[in-house]
Amino acid sequence: GGANAILALEGLFHLMQHHGLEYPRFYDQLYATLNPVTVHAKYRPRFFKLMDLFLTSAALPAYLVAAFVKRAARLALTSATPYALFAVPFVYN
């Protein structure tokens, strides 16, 4: 499920940052988790905290970060208000 995917990505990110693991599909997998099911789940606060952490690297290309921002903003337009309360600060960052 979505929670398992988030926890797996968190573990992968730690291995990439601290142990030099190469996982070229990390951001593809992260992008796939940004969907209507995930943004309505009870673990939404943790998800956005981790998304913010994963996307703060200065080494990431702007187009990659822009794709996440665009998807989050689009989901905010079509989702319930509680999601928008998390999405707007994320998009602003």
**Comparison of pLDDT for 42 and 18, the residue scoring more:** 18
**1 pLDDT exceeds 60?**
no
Mean pLDDT taken over the chain: 85
Q: Check residue 6 and give its pLDDT.
A: 78
Q: Check residue 25 and give its pLDDT.
A: 92
User: Percent of the chain, pLDDT > 90?
Assistant: 31
Per-residue tokens: 19: 């142990």
Q: Check residue 37 and give its pLDDT.
A: 79
The per-residue b/e assignment along 67-89, b for 16 or more CB within 10 angstroms, e otherwise, is ebbebbeebbeebeeebbebbee
Question: Residues 6 or more apart from 9 whose CB is under 8 A from it?
Answer: 26, 29, 30, 33, 50, 54
Q: Collapsing DSSP states into helix, strand and coil, what is residue 14?
A: helix
Q: Check residue 2 and give its pLDDT.
A: 65
Per-residue tokens: 63: 């187009």
